[in-house]
Amino acid sequence: MEHQNQQNKSYALPIAMMFALFFMISFVTGLQAPLGNITKNQFGLSEFAAQLGYFANFAAYAFMGIPAGVMLQRIGYKKTALIAIIVGFIGVCITFFSGTIDSFVVYLIGAFVAGFSMCMLNAVVNPMLNTLGGGGKRGNQLLQFGGVINSVGATIVPVLVGYLIGAAANAGDDAVTVKITDANPALFLAMGIFALAFIVLASVQIPEPQQAVAVQSEAKKDSHSALSFRHFKLGALAIFLYVGIEVGIQSIAFNFMKEGLKINASIVGSVVGTYWFLMLIGRLVGGSLGSKFSSKGMLTFVSVLGIAFVLIAMVLPIEQTVNMLVFKKDISFGLAEVPISIMFLILCGLCTSVMWGGIFNLATEGLGKYTAAASGIFMAMVCGGGILPAIQGAVVDVVGYMQSYWVIVIALLYLLFYALVGSKNVNTDINVD
C-alpha cells in the first residue's frame, strides 16, 4: 500500500498537467462559437457557413488521428504534446492574422490548424490518464475527472470569452461592424495559455510506458496491431457513434426548437446550454463513482437510461409542456417552458457525460504496447460528431424531427451491446509486452 501511495504521489504532477491540457482543448474549441457569430456578421455569411469553423475543427480529427497515434509511438507522449501546443499556438496566430487582413478563408485555415492541435492533445491525454491510473476502475476514474475539467471549460469559456470580447461575443444580425479583431483579447489569452503550458510541460517528467517497447519492436516486424483486437475495433465504432450521439441529440433538438417550434432564441440557447451543464454534473458524479463501479457497469447503465429517455421523448405529445430548470449564459438558473419531450432529450446529457471515458477504458484494456496507436485511431473516429448528425438531419427531411431520433436509439443500442458483449477481450493470446 505504501508503494502504491508513493507511485500515486509521484504521478500527481503529470496528472495535473493532463487535466490542464483537457482544459486547453475545451478553451480553444469553445472559441469557435463566438468567432462563428462574429464572422457571420463580418462577412455576411449564411448559418451553414458560420458553422464551418466548427466543421474545420472536426475535420482535422479525421486527418490527424492516426498520424497522432504514430507520433505517440515514435517520439512519446511528452514530445507529441509539446508539438501539439506549438501547432495550437500557430493556429490561434493564424486566426489573429485573419482578423488583420479580413479573410474568412484564412480564419478557416486557423480553425483547421487548431483542430490538428486539439486532436494531438486528445491523443495524448486520454491514454496518458488511463495509464497513470493503471487502467481498470482507477483509469476510468481519472478519465471521468479529465472529462469534468473539459466540461468546466466548455461551460465557462463562452462566459469568459463574452467578458473579454464584450458586445462582439453576442453580436446580432445588425452588428455588421463587429470584426474578428474584436476577439483579439480572447485570442491573446489563448496564445498566453499555450505559451505557459509549453513552458510548464517542458519542465515536467511524463512517464513513457510504451515508447521503449515501441522502439524495440521497430527492429522486428510485428504481425499484430491495435486492430488485431476485436474489442478495440468494436470500441472504435462505439466512439464514432458516441460522439455522433453527443452532438446529434442537442444539435437536432436546437434546430427543432428554433425552426420547428419557433421558440425564442434566448430560451433555446439556455435549454441547449443546460445539456452541456448536465454533462458537467454527470462527469462529476462519474468521477466520484469511477473507483467503485466498472466501466462496463457504468456504460451499461447510461446506455439503458439514454435509450429510455429518448424513447419517452419520442412517444410523448409535443404539445405537452413543462417548466424546465435551465442554466443561463450569465451563470444563473431560471425556468423555461418547453415541450416535455425536449426536457427528456436534454436529460440525456447526464448519460452521454461518462460514455467517452468508459468506452476508451474498455477498448484499450489489455492493449499494452498497442495503446498509443489505438489512441490515434480513436481520435480519427471523432469525426463521427460531424457524420452521424448529418445522417440524422437527412432522416429529419424524410420523417420529421422527433422520429429522426431512431438514429440515436439504434446508436445507443450498439453502445449497450458493446458494454455487455463487444468489450470482452477475446484476443488475450496476443503478446502486448
Angstrom distances, CA of residue 354 to CA of 141, 283, 287, 288, 359: 10, 6, 8, 11, 9
**Grid cell locating 277:** 451543464
CA distance 229 to 226: 6
**Grid cell locating 264:** 425564442
Helix (H) or strand (E) segment spanning residue 342: helix 340-347
CA distance 42 to 50: 10
- Residue type at position 92: V
CA distance 62 to 83: 18
**Burial group, residue 320, by CB count within 10 angstroms (0-12, 13-18, 19+):** exposed
Number of H helices, E strands in the chain: 18, 2
- Residue type at position 257: M
CA distance 226 to 233: 8
The answer to whether the CB of 15 falls within 8 A of the CB of 139 is: no
CA distance 171 to 37: 7
**Grid cell locating 215:** 522502439
CA distance 57 to 111: 6
The answer to whether the CB of 336 falls within 8 A of the CB of 326 is: yes
**Grid cell locating 377:** 485511431
Residue 365 zone, left/alpha/beta (φ > 0; ψ -120 to 50; rest): beta
The answer to whether the CB of 29 falls within 8 A of the CB of 43 is: no
CA distance 248 to 303: 15
**Grid cell locating 124:** 495524448
Q: Tell me the three state secondary structure of residue 393.
A: helix
CA distance 189 to 139: 32
- pTM score: 0.77
pLDDT 10s per residue in the chain (433 long)? 444 444 444 677 888 888 888 888 888 877 776 777 678 778 877 656 766 777 787 788 888 888 888 888 888 888 998 999 999 999 999 999 998 998 999 999 998 999 899 889 888 888 788 777 766 667 777 877 888 888 777 767 666 666 666 554 444 444 445 688 888 888 898 899 889 889 988 888 777 765 544 444 444 566 778 888 999 999 999 999 998 899 889 888 887 887 788 888 778 878 888 888 898 899 888 878 867 888 899 999 999 999 999 999 999 999 999 999 987 766 778 898 999 999 999 999 999 988 988 898 899 888 888 887 888 888 888 888 778 888 888 888 888 889 999 999 999 999 999 999 999 988 888 887 7
Q: Which residue segments constitute the domains of the chain, with CATH numbers given?
A: 1-221 (1.20.1250.20), 230-424 (1.20.1250.20)
**Grid cell locating 182:** 474584436
The answer to whether the CB of 337 falls within 8 A of the CB of 321 is: yes
